[in-house]
Structure 1
Amino acid sequence: MDWGQILANVVPVITIVGAFLLWLKNDIKQLRDDMNANDKRLRDDMDDKINQLRDDMDYKINQLRDVINANDKLLRDDMNAGFAAQEQRLRRVEMEQARMAGLLEGMALTGRLPDAGAGPRQT
């Protein structure tokens, strides 16, 4: 075999191998670009979902806070109303006690009350 024939046989093989390697390189680059695009799309989707969940959570927390504050206000109002009612009852009792004390004092001054220190009545 002479050099011309060797080159004639080797050049097509080298060309085919080179073309295959070039195709493989381009295919790998395309796969890498596709993977990067998919990763970016996945990250963007996850960020959107996380932001949506965060917004939903903030909304629900605010709703819960509003309900708790409303319940707290109702409870405080009920407690204040109960305290006011107890105060009114206490004032009425105190007024009745003062009235009774006045009546008893008046009865004692007029001599209508028996002597408390005399002990039980004997008949």
Structure 2
Amino acid sequence: MEVCPLLALRIRLVIQKLKRAALRLKGKKKRKSSTEQRIQPARRPPEEIKRDYGFQDSPAAKARAALAERHEKLERVEDKAQTLQSSAENFAGLAREVVREAEKTKWWQVWRY
């Protein structure tokens, strides 16, 4: 039985292709299907993830915000206290001057109106 030379050549080419494909598959890891690749989540920054899952509204975040607000209020109160203290010192100095002037004047000079 004799095989047609073109058919024999075609069979040899198919066998070579199969051998090459087998060698390629041995060296490669199994590829993931396209659906598995689509399921992979995209990398996102932590701030975005926290915002999406509501961690920014967590009790700890609320406490941190309240602490910052209290800190600002305390700073404002401290500034007002310093201003009030300097005003009180100025008033005390003026009161001392008035007392000194009053001690210098005689009682009859006060009633000259």
TM-score of the aligned structures, taking structure 1 as reference length: 0.45
Q: Give the structure with the larger helix fraction.
A: 1
Which of 1 and 2 has higher RCO (CA within 8 Å, sep 6+)? 1
TM-score of the aligned structures, taking structure 2 as reference length: 0.48
